[in-house]
Amino acid sequence: MDISSLGSLSSALAQAQTGDAVGTLALKKAMDIQAQSAMQLIAALPDVPNNPPNLGNSVDIKA
């Protein structure tokens, strides 16, 4: 095996690792932004009014 090819292989692997790291960080950032957006949507939901205690206690099954 040629020594010069080992150097180019080493630099190619280093670039691939750097690219993978950048991709991973971008994915983490996107997931954080999505989580924040989901939390904002949940926080924006209106409160559900309380139903009277007798509501939903019986069901008319005869049609």
Mean pLDDT by runs of 10 across the 63 residues of the chain is 66 80 93 96 88 79 73
Position 56 scores a pLDDT of 74
Position 62 scores a pLDDT of 78
Position 32 scores a pLDDT of 96
Token pair of 38 as six digits = 């989901």
Position 42 scores a pLDDT of 94
Position 4 scores a pLDDT of 63
DSSP 8-state symbol, 62: -
What number of CA atoms fall less than 13 Å from residue 56's CA on the CB side? 4
Position 6 scores a pLDDT of 62
CA distances from 4 to 14, 22, 23, 40, 63 (A): 16, 27, 29, 55, 86
